[in-house]
């Protein structure tokens, strides 16, 4: 098994690939998300790990568009990676020397409070990736530059970590999907992802197409929309729910959905990621905005 991931080495995408395939898995970095699906479709790799949504920033549009419009690959697994950011410099640098901070725009945005409080006068420079920024800074001799990125990247490229866990939201998580030629057989703890378009945009149509899932007691976990790219203000709806498409109640609901819709494409069924392994679940539940005795 070989896994394609969004490079360079040291990215959160490689963290997801390791979590999925293990530290000793064969991994190949690629420069773009479309290249990941191409690698599997052409036989360069057997699987590809793609980011699909972030708990703060929302959906990754390019991944959704690939699933909807282009790739025949199926989702065979999901992986959730906590987003932990580190301030990394070349060895020997001190905080007082830093005049420039580099990272992917999302990395800079997700560490806004730290930058405002600890490096208010430092210029912020956008990079193509967090790991790439760490590599550039860690391998240079310029002690005035710092990068924000994953701890794995700092270790890979020999960077010095000045500050750890500098992200504003400590429950930030990125969800990845693993694409392969086939999805997974039922495990008893599964999710299914699909998309659909309605035949006609009339009042109540969305409630009508979702009613079979409610009647079957199927728990929906996500519903969102993307433009069809065919005409103004026409949309593809994306749906995630608990259960496997081979389960009898799910199969019946999908069959009813197909009768009611213009198009239905099942992206795949796969084992649901055990969110309890993320570690901060207890902290997250305590910090929720709800009464203490809820």
- Please identify every residue annotated as catalytic: 174, 176
Task: Classify burial at 147, counting beta carbons within 10 Å of its beta carbon; exposed 0-12, middle 13-18, buried 19 or more.
Answer: buried
Q: How far apart are CA 217 and CA 107, in angstroms?
A: 39
List, in order, residues 6 or more apart from 109 with CB less than 8 Å away.
none
Rg of the chain over Cα atoms, rounded to whole angstroms, equals 21
List, in order, residues 6 or more apart from 61 with CB less than 8 Å away.
226
Q: How far apart are CA 186 and CA 246, in angstroms?
A: 7
CB-CB contact of 101 with 122 (8 Å): yes
Residue 59's CB is within 10 A of a number of other CB atoms, namely: 17
Residue 11's CB is within 10 A of a number of other CB atoms, namely: 24
List, in order, residues 6 or more apart from 174 with CB less than 8 Å away.
12, 16, 51, 53, 54, 55, 80, 81, 83
Token pair of 35 as six digits: 């290249």
11 to 50, 153, 190: CA distances (angstroms): 12, 7, 27
Token pair of 143 as six digits: 């002690």
CB-CB contact of 257 with 237 (8 Å): no
CB-CB contact of 104 with 130 (8 Å): yes
């Amino acid at each position: 098994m070989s896994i394609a991931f969004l490079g360079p080495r040291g990215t959160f995408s490689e963290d997801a690939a390791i979590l999925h395939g293990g530290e000793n898995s064969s991994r190949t970095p690629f420069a773009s998300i479309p290249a990941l699906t191409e690698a599997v479709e052409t036989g360069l790799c057997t699987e590809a790990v793609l980011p699909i949504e972030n708990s703060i920033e929302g959906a990754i549009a390019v991944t959704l568009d690939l699933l909807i419009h282009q790739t025949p690959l199926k989702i065979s697994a999901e992986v959730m990676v906590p987003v932990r950011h580190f301030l990394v410099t070349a060895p020997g640098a001190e905080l007082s020397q830093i005049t420039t901070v580099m990272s992917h725009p999302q990395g800079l945005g997700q560490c806004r409070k730290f930058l405002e409080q600890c490096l208010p006068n430092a210029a912020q420079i956008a990079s193509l990736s967090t790991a790439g920024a760490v590599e550039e800074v860690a391998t240079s001799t310029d002690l005035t530059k710092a990068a924000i990125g994953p701890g794995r990247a700092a270790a890979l490229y020999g960077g010095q970590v000045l500050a750890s866990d500098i992200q504003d939201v400590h429950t930030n998580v990125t969800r990845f999907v693993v694409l392969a030629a086939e999805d997974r057989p039922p495990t008893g703890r599964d999710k299914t992802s699909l998309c659909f378009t309605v035949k006609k945009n009339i009042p109540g149509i969305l409630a009508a197409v979702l009613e079979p899932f409610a009647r079957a007691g199927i728990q929906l976990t996500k519903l969102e929309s993307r433009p069809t790219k065919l005409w103004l203000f026409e949309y593809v709806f994306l749906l995630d729910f608990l259960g496997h498409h081979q389960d009898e109640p799910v199969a019946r609901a999908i069959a009813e959905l197909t009768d009611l819709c213009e198009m239905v494409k099942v992206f795949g069924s796969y084992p649901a990621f055990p969110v309890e392994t993320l570690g901060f679940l207890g902290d997250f539940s305590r910090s929720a905005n709800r009464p203490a005795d809820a």
